[in-house]
Structure 1
């Protein structure tokens, strides 16, 4: 792991907009770049993960690193950096950013074929690692969370999981992007996607949950096995809430008592409408609200936290 980049000693933080690690160097986010010929760019041949920093501490860093390692293994990628070095790089990116709340991404890109190797075979490529930390971003703005997100069920189906494994984080966002255009056209906040059989999968960058008759339901396939989703199950156990992982057909989504979303960049995010139908009193439901409040309270108490040294 090369760390020989000379960092600025000027009072103004040149990393204030973001700090990145690319090709063995730490640079301001605006200077981070990859070659146009990289398969990560040309073929979306990338796996990635995102971990949040809140109140100066990573949340479930070990879980995110384990999932990232599993994703690289599934895609036959192996950068030169070890997992211990990757952990140190993520920490350094946050230190350079200098924020106590940050959105931290780690990528492994396929790269380009090595000289003398078959030009069109993925095994010929030299894989490489990149990372960055930027100020915290919300997938669903806080004011939308307070009133509950207005969701639609997209007409665009999720890419079948037999084609692209959604449990391996990837850049294949064609279906998710189409769903977001539907959101714009209908004046909603976000979208849920169904699989080809009409069952709930996930949304653009988040897991989705349905609550019916006091039970929390989560799809059994077609979605990322989110770290915050895992956290939801732990919270259900703490609060004595029943939950079930199983297929959720469209009719159950439309008839839900409550719906909420979960993601690293937002935590637990309640909804109040689905396809124009108002749930409850057009505000976050009681179970969704309790899960959200408990999530952030435990976070403030240091639950699953890995502090970042050196932050003011």
Structure 2
């Protein structure tokens, strides 16, 4: 342990608050680069996951790694590292970065076919790119206080029959278009619908609405979020009725309360949707109760993994 402590003390200055692991090697984040010929870049042939660290403690680390493995399996990616090795890599990255509140990413991407090999993804090896940087939040400090302003854009979410949204990916064409529609409308973020007019998700977050005291979230069309799972557990603990089902746009925009949730932000109440003001233009009471309970339990070590 003393030898590891001495080694980390020597390296921390070199890593300057941001560390990376790329294709089998640790390095400062600024040195982590991938070739422009690799399919992870050229074809967005990559899957990823992100886990948060608060006060030197990972939140639901093993759940994130398990989801990451499921995504890799779905995309026929098999890097050499085991789940236990990925866990150790992420822990080490946070130690090297020396940042107690961290945003930790794990990515698996495909290289390019070897010369003469068939230009098929099966010909490309898969490898890891992981990093730890200071905490990043989806919402600004202003949004944290006033609540998010959301809107429903014209662009529709890529249908699950085309690509399963439960596999985290960088295919953000629809989400990016929605973000620009939101900007043009004076909103913070967009929440996309599917072709049937049901609510799916926003760019990097799941959504919930609350009507007559019942907490509701879409059943399909979005990621099975780890923070979303945490909301399920909190609803049970707090005695809140929860429904997971199709959510029409009409139901959503007319709700009593709306909130989003994600690793990079936790539970994030909204106060406007399509220009409609919810409540008194302040985060709703049930949303706030869930948010406060979430962070209080996080501070107590709920689902936590301590970093040395």
TM-score normalised by L of structure 2 = 0.95
For each residue in 1:20-47, what CA deviation from the matched residue of structure 2 results, as whole angstroms up to 9, or x when unmatched?
Answer: 1112211111111001111000000001
CA RMSD of aligned residues (A): 1.4
Which residues of 2 match residues 193-272 of structure 1 at below 5 A?
193-272=192-271
Would you say 1:87 and 2:91 are equivalent positions? no
For each residue in 1:111-167, what CA deviation from the matched residue of structure 2 results, as whole angstroms up to 9, or x when unmatched?
Answer: 11134431x211111111110001001101233122111111111110111111100
1:280 matched residue in structure 2? 279
2:3 matched residue in structure 1? none
After superposition, the Cα gap between the structure-2 partners of 1:238 and 1:142, relative to the gap in structure 1 and judged at 3 Å, is farther
TM-superposed CA distance for 1:14, in Å, is 3.0
| Distance in 2 (alpha carbons) for counterparts of 1:297 and 1:46 | 34
| Distance in 2 (alpha carbons) for counterparts of 1:132 and 1:48 | 11
The structure richer in helix per residue is 2
Would you say 1:187 and 2:186 are equivalent positions? yes
> SS where residue 281 of structure 2 aligns?
coil
Which residues of 2 match residues 24-35 of structure 1 at below 5 A?
24-35=24-35
1:3 matched residue in structure 2? none
2:38 matched residue in structure 1? 38
Instruction: Judge conservation of contact 2:150–2:273 (CA < 8 Å) in 1.
Output: yes
| Distance in 2 (alpha carbons) for counterparts of 1:300 and 1:114 | 48
Instruction: Judge conservation of contact 1:150–1:272 (CA < 8 Å) in 2.
Output: yes
TM-superposed CA distance for 1:255, in Å, is 0.5
Instruction: Judge conservation of contact 1:8–1:14 (CA < 8 Å) in 2.
Output: no
Would you say 1:162 and 2:161 are equivalent positions? yes
Instruction: Judge conservation of contact 1:206–1:261 (CA < 8 Å) in 2.
Output: yes
Runs of 4+ with deviation above 3 angstroms: 6-10
| Distance in 2 (alpha carbons) for counterparts of 1:209 and 1:154 | 17
TM-score normalised by L of structure 1 = 0.94
Instruction: Judge conservation of contact 2:17–2:98 (CA < 8 Å) in 1.
Output: no
| Distance in 2 (alpha carbons) for counterparts of 1:212 and 1:166 | 26
Which residues of 2 match residues 114-153 of structure 1 at below 5 A?
114-118=114-118, 120-153=119-152
TM-superposed CA distance for 1:17, in Å, is 4.2
Instruction: Judge conservation of contact 1:50–1:105 (CA < 8 Å) in 2.
Output: yes
| Distance in 1 (alpha carbons) for counterparts of 2:46 and 2:303 | 27
Instruction: Judge conservation of contact 2:17–2:99 (CA < 8 Å) in 1.
Output: no
Structure 1 regions of 5+ residues with no counterpart?
1-5
Structure 2 regions of 5+ residues with no counterpart?
1-6
> SS where residue 209 of structure 2 aligns?
strand
- Give the aligned length: 302
Instruction: Judge conservation of contact 1:151–1:274 (CA < 8 Å) in 2.
Output: yes
For each residue in 1:78-126, what CA deviation from the matched residue of structure 2 results, as whole angstroms up to 9, or x when unmatched?
Answer: 00111111111111110111011000000000111134431x2111111
Moved more, 266-275 or 182-191: 182-191
Instruction: Judge conservation of contact 1:145–1:271 (CA < 8 Å) in 2.
Output: no
2:171 matched residue in structure 1? 172
For each residue in 1:225-276, what CA deviation from the matched residue of structure 2 results, as whole angstroms up to 9, or x when unmatched?
Answer: 0000000000000000001000001101110100000000110000000011
